[in-house]
Chains A and B, each alone.
Chain A
Amino acid sequence: LAKTTQPISMDSYEGQEVNITCSHNNIATNDYITWYQQFPSQGPRFIIQGYKTKVTNEVASLFIPADRKSSTLSLPRVSLSDTAVYYCLVGDGGSARQLTFGSGTQLTVLP
Chain B
Amino acid sequence: NAGVMQNPRHLVRRRGQEARLRCSPMKGHSHVYWYRQLPEEGLKFMVYLQKENIIDESGMPKERFSAEFPKEGPSILRIQQVVRGDSAAYFCASSPPGTSNNIQYFGAGTRLSVL
Contacts and interface: CB of A to CB of B under 8 A. Distances in A.
A49 B102 contact: yes
Contacts, number: 69
Interface residues on B, range: 20 to 34
Interface majority SS (helix, strand, loop, mixed), chain A: loop
Given A43-B93, A49-B103, A89-B102, A98 B43 contact: no
B91 A87 contact: no
Given A42-B108, A87-B42, A104-B42, A98 B59 contact: yes
Contacts of A49: 101-103
Contact of A93 (B44, B103, B106): B103
A49 B108 CA distance: 22
A111 interface: no
Interface residues of A, number: 24
B102 to A, nearest CB: 4
A34 B107 contact: no
B18 to A, nearest CB: 23
Nearest to A102: B42
Interface in B56-111: 56, 58-59, 91, 93, 95, 99-109, 111
A104 B44 CA distance: 13
A104 B41 CA distance: 9
A34 B108 contact: no
Interface of A: 32, 34, 41-46, 49, 87, 89, 91-94, 96-104
